[in-house]
Amino acid sequence: MKIHREGYLIILIAIIILGLIHVGSYFLFQYTGWMWLHILLTVGELVMLYLVVQFFRVPNITCVADALDVICPADGKIVVIEETEETEYFKDKRIQISIFMSPMNVHANFNPISGIIQYVKYHKGLFLVAWHPKSSTDNERSTFVIRHETGQEVLFRQIAGAVARRICYYVRENQEVKVGDEFGFIKFGSRIDVFLPLDCEINVKIGDIVKGRLTKLGKLKKTV
């Protein structure tokens, strides 16, 4: 396991703030006979630091996928699987799979397929709760499209939530990417939508707990 680079500064700030609270509570309570309160605060400080550090963890996982597999881009829970109209890029019907990421999930995001990045666009927006039906179109979000070597395209979208206030991504148009490689990070609770061709085989169901780089969302149709 490693710590994601997006967490370095936040973890440092957390250590400084919690350290000041720890020292301050020690000097405040050592002469009052309330050292039990200092010990209680110390436990709380350690728990808080653990939560901050674990949020930015990135497990060491090797992505193993067949050429047509669509790999889950994030840890979380499947909350939507439906046929819907994708209005930003395709402007036609696609199968939408939505993954809700709680603050306890790994928040690094990974390419669902290999191919060439065809489209990258960031949208300013609202901060509705990530499971809100309109969060996909109204919230702050970033949209990406990868064209597979077969010519099929997969769209996926980072969506900010009520707590998530920063979306980070590291890819650009015309860049060649590999399935399972990191493309971005969302801070503090969010959602990712994946839009697949209608003839794509789906391997998950609503309510499934999924793992980025490990779970296979589906399989693209084999072309001649």
Instruction: Check which CATH number belongs to the domain holding 113 and give it.
Output: 2.70.70.10
- DSSP per-residue string spanning 85-99: EETTTT-EEEEEEEE
pTM: 0.84
> Domain count of the chain?
2
Flag whether 211 is in a domain.
yes
pLDDT at 149 over 90: yes
pLDDT at 170 over 70: yes
Flag whether 126 is in a domain.
yes
Residue 190 annotated to the active site? yes
Structural domain containing residue 32: 2-58
| Residue 144 sits in the same domain as residue 205 | yes
| Residue 129 sits in the same domain as residue 93 | yes
Q: Which of the four pLDDT bands, split at 50, 70 and 90, describes residue 77?
A: very high
Phi, psi torsion values for 134, nearest 5 degrees: -90, 0
Helix/strand/coil for 48: helix
Q: Out of 98, 135, 136, 190, which one is annotated catalytic?
A: 190
Residue 13 tokens read as 């700030």
CA distances from 92 to 86, 103, 131, 151, 176 (A): 6, 33, 23, 17, 25
Residue range 19-66, pLDDT digits in tens: 999 998 888 888 777 888 888 999 999 999 998 888 888 888 889 999
Helix/strand/coil for 21: helix
